[in-house]
Structure 1
Amino acid sequence: MNINGSIALVTGGGSGLGEATARRLAAAGARVAVLDRSEEAAALVSGGIGGLGLTADVTDAGDVEAAFRRTIAEMGEAPRVVVNCAGIGTAARILPRDGALSIEAFERTIRVNLIGTYTVLSVAARAMAALEPLDEDGARGVIVNTASIAYQDGQIGQAAYAASKGGVASLTLPAARELARFGIRVMTIAPGLFETAMSAGLSPEVRATLEAGLPFPSRMGRPEEFAMLVQQILENPLLNGEVIRIDGAVRLSPK
Structure 2
Amino acid sequence: MKIQGRTFVVSGGASGLGRACVLDICEKGGNAAIMDMNEELGGALVNQLGSSARFFRCDVSDTESIAAAVEGLARWTKETGKPLGGIIPAAGVGRPGLILDKNGNPLTLEAIDFVLGINLRGTLDFVRQVLPHLASAPTQGPDGERGAIVMVASAAAFEGQMGQVVYAASKGAVASMTLPMARDLSRFGIRVVTIAPSMFDSAMTAVMSDKVKTGLRKAMEFPTRPGKPEEFSSLVVHAIENSMLNGVVIRLDGATRMPSKL
Same fold, TM-score > 0.5, yes or no: yes
Matched, 1:80 2:82: no
- How far apart, in 2, do the equivalents of 1:121 and 1:74 lie? 18
Identify the residue that residue 5 of structure 1 maps to in structure 2.
5
Identify the residue that residue 25 of structure 1 maps to in structure 2.
25
SS at match of 2:95: coil
Tell me by how many angstroms 1:28 deviates: 0.9
- How far apart, in 1, do the equivalents of 2:200 and 2:147 lie? 27
Write the deviation string for residues 185-229 of structure 1: whole angstroms up to 9, x where unpaired. Answer: 111110001111111133434323321321001111001100000
Identify the residue that residue 150 of structure 2 maps to in structure 1.
144
SS at match of 2:120: helix
- How far apart, in 1, do the equivalents of 2:34 and 2:127 lie? 16
SS at match of 1:4: coil
The correspondence for 1:124, drawn from 113, 127, 130, is: 130
Query: What pairs with 1:224-239 in structure 2 (closer than 5 Å)?
Result: 224-239=230-245
- How far apart, in 1, do the equivalents of 2:103 and 2:37 lie? 33
Query: What pairs with 1:1-255 in structure 2 (closer than 5 Å)?
Result: 1-50=1-50, 51-76=53-78, 78-102=83-107, 103-255=109-261
Tell me by how many angstroms 1:161 deviates: 0.1
Write the deviation string for residues 137-189 of structure 1: whole angstroms up to 9, x where unpaired. Answer: 11111111101010100000000000000111111100000000001111111
Tell me by how many angstroms 1:81 deviates: 1.4
Q: Larger deviation: 194-203 or 115-124?
A: 194-203
- How far apart, in 2, do the equivalents of 1:180 and 1:221 lie? 32
1:136 partner amino acid: P
**Percentage identity across paired residues of the two chains:** 40
- How far apart, in 2, do the equivalents of 1:36 and 1:186 lie? 22
- How far apart, in 2, do the equivalents of 1:81 and 1:43 lie? 22
Write the deviation string for residues 50-98 of structure 1: whole angstroms up to 9, x where unpaired. Answer: 2101111112222212212211212325521111110101100011023
SS at match of 2:191: strand
- How far apart, in 2, do the equivalents of 1:167 and 1:208 lie? 28
- How far apart, in 2, do the equivalents of 1:119 and 1:46 lie? 25
1:27 partner amino acid: E
TM-score normalised by the chain length of structure 1: 0.96
Structure 2: gaps spanning 5 or more residues: none
- How far apart, in 2, do the equivalents of 1:169 and 1:2 lie? 25
Tell me by how many angstroms 1:13 deviates: 0.6
Q: Larger deviation: 167-176 or 131-140?
A: 131-140
- The answer as to whether partners of 1:71 and 1:78 remain within 8 angstroms in 2 is no
Pairs aligned (count)? 255
Structure 1: gaps spanning 5 or more residues: none
2:105 partner amino acid: A
- The answer as to whether partners of 1:68 and 1:78 remain within 8 angstroms in 2 is no
